[in-house]
Every structure is written in C-alpha cells, then in structure tokens.
C-alpha cells in the first residue's frame, strides 16, 4: 500500500521536545498538488497541527472528493479531536489518529469523548480510530476507548524514520 504523509501546515500550539519537525527542514520537502494524489492508497493529513488550519483541510478534502480527484482513504493526524467533529467535511474522512503527548491532550480527549457520548453523537461512526498515548501519560478512562485502537507507551524516535511504504510531502503553500 502506497501512502502519502502530507504536511499541510507548520503551525502548532505545542512544543514537544522530540517533535520530528525540528529534525529536518520542512520547506525542503517535495511538494504535491491535489490532482497528483490519486497515485496513493491513503493520504495522511498532518502538520504541525492540522486543526489550526481547518479551512485549509476543508478546502483540500472538499476539492479531492467533489471533483473525484481522490477515492482512497483520508486520515487526519491531530491532538484535537473536538475540532474534527466541527469540520464540514467530517463525513468525507475515513480515519482519525489522535496522539496524546501530555495531560492537556488527555483531558481534551476525555472531555470531547464525554460530550460525544452524552449527546449521542454519530460523527465518529464508521471511521478508523487510533489513539497513540505517549509514555508517562495515563490511558483515558475505559468508557471512552470502546471504538479506539490504542497504542500506549509511545516514545520519541531518533531521526523519525518513515514507516515502510510512506512518502513525506507538503502542500506548496504552507501556512
Ligand atoms: S504536537 Fe506534533 S507537530 Fe506539534 S510540536 Fe508536538 S510533535 Fe510537533
């Protein structure tokens, strides 16, 4: 399976000590246009924090789906689950990967899941849901994890090797 890891922004409101983006120059990455993305089976939208530029995500995904430029899976990597539910194109994405780096991320995740369950929301249904939890951060309460595949005790990796089959590229105009 050929996957595109797509950097859509360099913005982030966190400052993680092992952030991969500090280990290379993002501006030197190859760029890709939406009409070139059909060669990949999966697009992984990442940053920075993609949910700091929600309009950019909505425009990209709307364009890919509306003009039938891309039929594969679209996954968003973020720390901000709440904002995914607010996206106009939430129904067009196939998966969400949340990473909990610290207690702030953990409390936000639990708060969003608490409200999701309380209001009988449905926007997470039929999506692939993965939760990465860094070492030292406790797991969210069990009741919130029913639909999530959890990987815990995550640690920073030197030089941030890309998983096999993935290519790292960026949008041309980074915000
Ligand atoms: S949340 Fe992600 S992009 Fe932001 S500083 Fe941490 S590792 Fe880097």
* Class of domain 3-170 (CATH, top level): alpha beta
By CB neighbour count within 10 A (0-12 exposed, 13-18 middle, 19+ buried), where does 142 fall? exposed
The answer to whether residues 114 and 149 touch, using CB atoms and an 8 Å cutoff, is: no
Q: Is 45 helix (H, G, I), strand (E, B) or coil?
A: strand
Q: Is the pLDDT of residue 121 over 80?
A: yes
Residue 77 pLDDT grade (very low, low, confident, very high; cuts 50, 70, 90): very high
Whole-structure pTM value: 0.95
User: What is the reported pLDDT for 17?
Assistant: 87
The answer to whether residues 6 and 44 touch, using CB atoms and an 8 Å cutoff, is: yes
User: What is the reported pLDDT for 23?
Assistant: 85
Between the CA of 2 and the centroid of ligand 1 the distance, in Å, is: 24
From 20, 49, 51, 102, the mutation candidate for ligand 1 (largest count of ligand atoms within 8 A of CB) is 49
User: What is the reported pLDDT for 127?
Assistant: 98
The answer to whether residues 68 and 99 touch, using CB atoms and an 8 Å cutoff, is: no
Q: Give the residue whose CA is nearest to atom 7 of ligand 1.
A: 19
Work out the average pLDDT over 52-72: 96
């Amino acid at each position: 399976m050929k996957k595109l890891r797509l950097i859509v922004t360099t913005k982030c409101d966190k400052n993680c000590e092992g952030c991969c983006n500090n280990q290379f120059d993002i501006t030197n990455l190859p760029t890709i246009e939406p009409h070139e993305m059909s060669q990949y089976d999966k697009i992984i939208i990442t940053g920075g924090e993609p949910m700091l530029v929600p309009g950019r995500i909505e425009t990209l995904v709307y364009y890919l789906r509306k003009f039938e430029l891309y039929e594969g899976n679209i996954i968003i990597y973020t720390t901000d689950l709440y904002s995914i539910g607010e996206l106009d194109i939430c129904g067009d994405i196939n998966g969400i990967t949340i990473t909990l780096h610290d207690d702030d991320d953990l409390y936000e995740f639990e708060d969003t899941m608490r409200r999701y369950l309380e209001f009988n929301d449905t926007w997470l249904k039929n999506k692939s849901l993965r939760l990465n939890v860094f070492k030292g951060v406790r797991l969210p309460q069990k009741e919130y994890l029913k639909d999530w595949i959890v990987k815990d005790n995550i640690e920073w990796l030197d030089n941030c090797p890309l998983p096999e089959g993935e290519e790292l590229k960026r949008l041309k105009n980074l915000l």
